[in-house]
Structure 1
Amino acid sequence: MDLELTGRVAIVTGGSLGIGKAVASELAKEGTDVVITARRAAPLKETAKHIEAQTGRRVLALTSDTTDTESVRAMVRDAAAAFGRVDILVNGAAAPSGLVRNSVEEADPELLLQDINTKVVGYFRCAQAVTPYMKRNGYGRIVNIGGLTGRSSHALSGMRNLAVVHMTKALSDQLGPDGITVNTVHPGVVETEHIHELYETEAAKRGITAAEVEADFVARTPIRRVLEAKEIAEIISFLSSSRAAAITGESIGADGGLTRGIFL
């Protein structure tokens, strides 16, 4: 299927590693010019060179801190100046798995605030900054990378993902008349640079090995495997395209069936 993404311009936050890197690569393969942004310059530049070499598309690495409003606005201005437009925003800059995964007695309120500032308010800062450019062209796609902890009660940091879902719905209402869709994708257990850190953390809590933690996730997933970052990127690429114009305000689980809840 031709996603009709050739000539579009995307900004991917958290784009140097993991799912963000896979999204940037997939969008570039579909013909999109991409701005990848994160706080550290070296991994960004390395990723940009790698994707450019693979796809032949232009990939611009811009540092930014999504907890800083002016930093976000400057990054978006630079992106628009470099490419002349902004069509797509993929929000993915956040601490993987959240900063607070322990009990209420041990939880640090300041880390909860940091989680919310980075992922919820940070996503909002980026959406707010790109909105004028998207409105100008009468076209925009905003895709927020959420997380399954927003659909369960086992991690206090999950509240950030629940808030992202609310923001997604609110923004979809406001921006829909201008041709801008807003959706959330909740990845399941995905093979990234960070997933093995989660295995180790969970293993220490439960007194088992990291390999046993991974095997438990696989056993509880109907498709019986860990997902690849490319699979999440393909879903996000579709939502970023004109083909997905009828989908907005939605929260889509991309978890291999791991979530057992029923969401109408």
Structure 2
Amino acid sequence: MSGAAARPLSGQVCLVTGASRGIGKGIALQLSEAGGTVYITGRQREALEKTAAEVQGRGGRCVPVVCDSSSEEEVAALFERLKQEQAGRLDLLVNNAFSGVSALSKEMGTPFWESPPTLWDDINNAGLRGHYIFSVHAARLMVPAGRGLIVIISSPGGLRYMFDVPYGVGKAACDRLAADCAVELRSFGVACVALWPGLVRTESLEKEAEVQSGPVYEKLREKLPIIAESIEVSGKCVVGLATDPHIMQHSGKVMLSPELAQRYQFKDVDGKDVFNYISVRNILTELMPKLSVFFRLIPGFITIPKWVLALYSSKFSVYPPIQPLSLKSSKKA
């Protein structure tokens, strides 16, 4: 393989928010391996610099920048630095920052009317408003250049109820942010997409599964080794999108990690196939495990069409809404 083919992002400037750990770290690792100059942001300098050293070890250049995604001043300062150090060049922005993990875990199962209103800010300040702020600044560099890609990390929580109200609203808004930004950016040659990873083996998820008790976490511990993808799968997805000559055809759309694994023909870092969470075989096996021996006969590439997912999740759907597994007892008047 030629050097250009092995390092397709050589000479390109990338920015990944919330990259100290988890999905953001995995994305930065893959971008560096592809030869990109990768700026990474986070709020804790020590963790950020540790990740930067690991990212740089993959072959590209990594620049750690302490930046709170919810602070307009800090974000503006970061982009001023980009203008000075990279002559205003930015090829790729990945909006990944999310500061609501601990709050989400703490309030899990609590009805929204009994949760503190600050839960909304914990989940959506960095993870939605921050994405918008970063996208504004990125577009100001990309539009004059006539090229660029903005990726917004979202989740199936934008499709149907997941975890709680602020989370679902935030993820639905992330998907809409990608779609509407794409409309205004299209004529300038800049693409914007949302990316839905599957269940990801992040450090925080593995820790939660290990220390928490109850049937939900028991099932999670059982399923993690089978269906969870590594943090670098999202990175491989982003590299694929960033090097796709037909990326404008996908602008405004929601892209799924297993879908991109098939399109760009990659596997997880352990050599396994990326678990396809919209595969008919996998869905039926999950719903009716006792019949899994029969479902194995269904080819894995047969998936639920996206239009079916959209129809089922439509605001005008005739189907009943998904109910949470359990809510803590509501206080009675």
Q: TM-score, normalised by structure 2?
A: 0.70
Distance in structure 2 (CA, Å) of the matches to 1:70 and 1:113? 18
Which one of the candidate residues 172, 191, 195 is aligned to 1:181? 191
Distance in structure 2 (CA, Å) of the matches to 1:144 and 1:43? 23
2:116 matched to which residue of 1?
A: 108
Compute the displacement of 1:129 (Å).
1.0
- The answer to whether the 8 A contact 1:200-1:209 is kept is no
Runs of 4+, deviation exceeding 6 Å = none
- The answer to whether the 8 A contact 1:142-1:240 is kept is no
Compute the displacement of 1:225 (Å).
2.6
CA deviations 1:151-205 (Å, max 9, x no partner) are 231322122111100111000001111111000111111111111244258x53x
Distance in structure 2 (CA, Å) of the matches to 1:217 and 1:41? 30
Distance in structure 1 (CA, Å) of the matches to 2:8 and 2:219? 43
1:251 matched to which residue of 2?
A: 254
Q: Could you say what the CA RMSD is over the residues aligned between the two structures, in angstroms?
A: 2.3
Going from structure 1 to structure 2, the CA distance change for 1:217 and 1:61 (only over 3 Å counts) comes to closer
Going from structure 1 to structure 2, the CA distance change for 1:51 and 1:154 (only over 3 Å counts) comes to closer
- The answer to whether the 8 A contact 1:143-1:184 is kept is yes
Name which of structure 1's ranges 152-161 and 34-43 shifts more when overlaid on structure 2: 152-161
Code of the aligned partner of 1:20? G
1:17 matched to which residue of 2?
A: 21
Instruction: Give structure 1 stretches of 5+ with no counterpart.
Output: 219-223
2:45 matched to which residue of 1?
A: 41
Q: TM-score, normalised by structure 1?
A: 0.87
2:128 matched to which residue of 1?
A: 120
Is 1:263 the counterpart of 2:263? The answer is no
Compute the displacement of 1:216 (Å).
4.3
Is 1:132 the counterpart of 2:149? The answer is no
Distance in structure 2 (CA, Å) of the matches to 1:28 and 1:113? 32
Is 1:191 the counterpart of 2:201? The answer is yes
Compute the displacement of 1:254 (Å).
2.3
Code of the aligned partner of 2:155? G
- The answer to whether the 8 A contact 1:141-1:241 is kept is no
- Find the structure with the greater CA-based Rg: 2
Instruction: Tell me: higher relative CO, structure 1 or 2? Use CA pairs within 8 A at least 6 residues apart.
Output: 1
Q: Size of the alignment, in residue pairs? A: 255
Name which of structure 1's ranges 251-260 and 13-22 shifts more when overlaid on structure 2: 251-260
2:238 matched to which residue of 1?
A: 236
Compute the displacement of 1:212 (Å).
3.5
Distance in structure 1 (CA, Å) of the matches to 2:79 and 2:18? 14
1:162 matched to which residue of 2?
A: 172
Distance in structure 1 (CA, Å) of the matches to 2:114 and 2:305? 31
Which one of the candidate residues 211, 216, 219 is aligned to 1:212? 219
Code of the aligned partner of 2:196? H
Compute the displacement of 1:210 (Å).
4.1
Structure richer in strand, relative to its length:
1
1:221 matched to which residue of 2?
A: none
Code of the aligned partner of 2:161? S
Name which of structure 1's ranges 241-250 and 27-36 shifts more when overlaid on structure 2: 241-250
Instruction: Give structure 2 stretches of 5+ with no counterpart.
Output: 259-274, 284-303, 308-333
